[in-house]
Amino acid sequence: MSLFSRFGLPVLVSWSVVACAGSKPDAATPTASSPSASTASTPTGEEPLTDPPKPPKASGNPFANMKLWVDPDSLSMLTANSLRKKDPEKAKVLDKIAQQPQALWVGDWNKDVKRYIEYILDKTKADGAAPIFILYNVPGRDCGQHSQGGLKTSDEYRRWIRKVAQGAGQEKVVFVLEPDALGLLDKCLSKEQQDERLSIIWDAVKVLRQNPNAAVFLDAGHARWAPAPVMAERLKRAGIEDAHGFALNTSNYVWDAENIKFGHEVSKLTFGAPFILDTSRNGNGQDEKLDWCNPPGRHIGKLPTLQTGDPLIEAYLWLKRPGESDGECNGGPKAGVFWLDQALELAK
């Protein structure tokens, strides 16, 4: 188990609130179903790939006057609803998670990614809100660890990104690009593969920003991953100049203060780029003596807010969904499966 095995895949599957993935659901337990529960497949289009034009320089805070979406079908909400009559106290604790806006993860578990994006946008528009999508499908994802997967080739990834963009159209939306892709850049890739990854991520930035209402943030790890100058150089080569900014602490537990200091250092080295911060599970920080994956004794952090008091921090967000496992470690089920015991511990 490595510190770099960081991200759980929030696949919506049939689930039992206390069992591992693949267990038969209890009769009283709801089964989550949505387009994201589809079997994984790769894009099939063979249309010629063309380079997108360079987008205009991003300016202003894209979160200004934005309403963040609360998913009524999140696994935490469905679990809380299932417990309201038989265990109202647990349901009340889970509501601390379920009633907060959280990002949606998109990857190789989405059979028709264009349709899925459209489906979510139909729901969020009806609520007058904007969704946050975490795009997590780069080839060689997570270096084959707990969240391994992703598409097989760069061209498949470029086509997939274009389908994401087609699904979003001209709607107001936030994208966070490829958690751990820059943090793990030198951990399992050759020099040529590193160059290719940076190239296709920059391509993704430009494709997604053809939508003038789309905000795009590049994931930049966290304060304990790579030194600020190293991460800044990777961000430059991945297209930070065409993005709105970068994201920190996605799916991790590092204290806000550490990440804010790191974020300011990275910003100085990346044209003054602003950043967003995942506060979903860092309310008790990261204990260096504990394994990163599903560490006990953690708590939810700062609630999602667009009022940060820092002009460089555009939002505190819940990018990881609290209660969804990091992987089969420390007693947890497979990555992304909802783990009731962990959720209750985080929310208490």
pLDDT digits (tens, 9 = 90+) for 129-166: 999 999 999 999 978 776 778 999 999 999 999 999 99
**When comparing pLDDT for 236 and 46, which is higher?**
236
- Give a yes or no: residue 4 inside a domain: no
Structure-token pair, residue 226: 């790579």
| Angle (deg, nearest 10), helices 191-208 and 154-168 | 20
Which of 142, 203, 219, 242 does the annotation list as catalytic?
142
142 given a catalytic annotation: yes
Q: Are 132 and 174 in contact (CB under 8 A)?
A: yes
- Which structural domain, as residue segments, surrounds residue 72? 60-347
Q: What is the pLDDT of residue 109?
A: 93
- Give a yes or no: residue 305 inside a domain: yes
Give per-residue pLDDT as tens, 98-129.
999 999 999 999 999 999 999 999 999 999 99
Nearest to 148 by CA among 343, 334, 340: 334
- Split at pLDDT 50, 70, 90, the class of 31 is very low
Average pLDDT of the chain is 88
Region 185-194: what's the mean pLDDT?
94
- Give a yes or no: residue 11 inside a domain: no
Q: What is the pLDDT of residue 47?
A: 74
326 given a catalytic annotation: yes
- Split at pLDDT 50, 70, 90, the class of 35 is very low
Q: Are 251 and 7 in contact (CB under 8 A)?
A: yes
Region 70-95: what's the mean pLDDT?
97
Nearest to 114 by CA among 33, 171, 65: 171
- Give a yes or no: residue 32 inside a domain: no
- Residue 277 backbone phi and psi in degrees, to 5: -135, 130
Interatomic CA distance for residues 81 and 71, integer angstroms: 13
Residue 2 confidence (pLDDT) above 60: no
- Give a yes or no: residue 41 inside a domain: no
Counted domains in the chain: 1
Which of 180, 219, 256, 278 does the annotation list as catalytic?
180
- Give a yes or no: residue 52 inside a domain: no
Element (H, E) at 264: helix 256-268
- Furthest-apart CA atoms within the chain: distance in Å: 57
Which of 71, 219, 278, 326 does the annotation list as catalytic?
326
Q: In what order do the strands lie in the sheet with 245-248?
A: 104-106, 132-135, 173-177, 214-219, 245-248, 275-278, 313-317
71 given a catalytic annotation: no
Least confident of 24-28, 53-57, 182-186, 326-330: 24-28
Q: What is the CATH number for 229? A: 3.20.20.40
Q: What is the pLDDT of residue 142?
A: 78
Q: pLDDT above 70 covers what percent of the chain?
A: 86
Name residue 149's beta-bridge partners. 141
- Is the pTM for the entire model greater than 0.75? yes
- Give a yes or no: residue 178 inside a domain: yes
- Give a yes or no: residue 79 inside a domain: yes
